[in-house]
Structure 1
Amino acid sequence: MAAVGGFISLSLWNIDFFFTLLAYLFGIKLASLTAYMFNSELPVWLRTLSLFHVALPFFLLWLIYRLGYHKRAWVFQIVFFWIVIPITWFVTDPSKNINGVFSYKIYKWLNMEATFFLIIEFVVVAIVIAVSHLFFKTFKKKSSNKFIRKK
């Protein structure tokens, strides 16, 4: 389930990181998602910890190869997302913007209401998960999870 929910975003994180690293090596500063990795004001241990993003997509692919892909994982992931995001919205501090649920405040140029932003977020994430599902279902090995009933 983690693979179908995170593979695309993790892969994009890696692409962004390596382009930012390349730019950094040439003395160019980019405003990017991974620019924090090159921010000397942040502790080295924290930036090093974030390097797990580099290995995780490959680890997820290896897990799918070894264990197989359950054909309903994408549905479970979407339902999980649709449960977690509203909970995050109602119980967290907006200034922390956990899971990006308050990003509409950051992107003021979008000029949209919170409800509309969340609806777009739900739809976009569902599409990304569906695309991941189309990719992972090409793996032929069936899921070997004895706790999931196979049809």
Structure 2
Amino acid sequence: MKTSTHFSGLIPLWLKIAYTAFMAVLIPVYWYHYGPTNFLYFCDIALLLTLAGMWLESPLLISMPAVGILLPQALWCLDYLVQLAGYTLTGMTAYMFDSAKPLFLRGLSLFHGWLPFLLVYLVFKVGYDKRALKGWTAASMGLCLVAFFFLPKAGAALADPNLPRNVNYVFGMNDAKPQTWMSPELYLLTWIAVLIIVVFVPTHFVLNKVCPSPEQAATKRA
């Protein structure tokens, strides 16, 4: 089955090399400090898909993370700016101001701020693939289920405090303790539904409206 439309020469080689160099640093550093389960976060999956998508110039592999993280990363950027100003919005970027974490490690996490802009640029270059909504929805549901059933819960006591817990917020928005509004199972289903309805579907419609299709992107180059 054909999984993506493929065109070559749409993405500058220097950009591919620069992004690959960044990933060549980030992957071993994150693996060492946070362990392999850290790469099950939506944002880290998005990084990996973007890497593959850039070299393959695959509209599908680039469109999937665009659907999934543009809105959440916009919130990250806003939260970071609020924290920088000395206030608190959601607290999701509080770790960026934790002096106990090495500055270099926190610096790598600034990718949350520039990755959305890179993805917007890339989908305009290679085109937006409509299948991205279904692809990312399926992937995100799988990641949420794995995090819920197999990874540490919010507030879990871990031998290594740097290891991820509450991956993808499947136990609530606070990593220190699980939510108590409803049963964990009902929260998981509600969370997945919110992600799909509030985040993925609106992003899909906007990208599908404003971005060229893969065929149009290829035609512009020709």
TM value normalised by structure 2: 0.57
For residues 23-55 of structure 1, give each alpha carbon's deviation from its aligned partner in whole angstroms, at most 9, with x where no partner exists.
3xxxxx536221221121221112111111111
Farther-moved stretch of structure 1 (95-104 vs 1-10): 95-104
Is the aligned partner of 1:86 residue 2:145? yes
Structure ranking higher on relative contact order (CA contacts 8 Å, 6+ apart) = 1
For residues 80-132 of structure 1, give each alpha carbon's deviation from its aligned partner in whole angstroms, at most 9, with x where no partner exists.
11222112222222222222222288254x43101110111111010110011
Map residues 1-151 of structure 1 onto 2, 5 A cutoff: 1-23=64-86, 29-30=87-88, 32-94=91-153, 95=156, 96-103=165-172, 106-108=177-179, 110-127=180-197, 128-143=199-214
- 2-side partners of 1:139 and 1:9: how far apart? 19
Farther-moved stretch of structure 1 (32-41 vs 122-131): 32-41
TM value normalised by structure 1: 0.82
| Structure 2 unmatched runs, 5+ | 1-63, 157-164, 216-222
| Structure 1 unmatched runs, 5+ | 24-28, 145-151
- SS at structure 1 position matched to 2:147: helix
**Percent identity over paired residues:** 31
Aligned positions, number: 138
The question of whether the paired residues in 2 share the 8 Å contact of 1:69 and 1:139 is answered with: no
| Change beyond 3 A, Cα 1:35–1:87 | closer
- 1-side partners of 2:84 and 2:203: how far apart? 26
Which amino acid in 1 is paired with 2:88? L
The alignment's C-alpha RMSD in Å is 1.9
Which amino acid in 2 is paired with 1:132? T
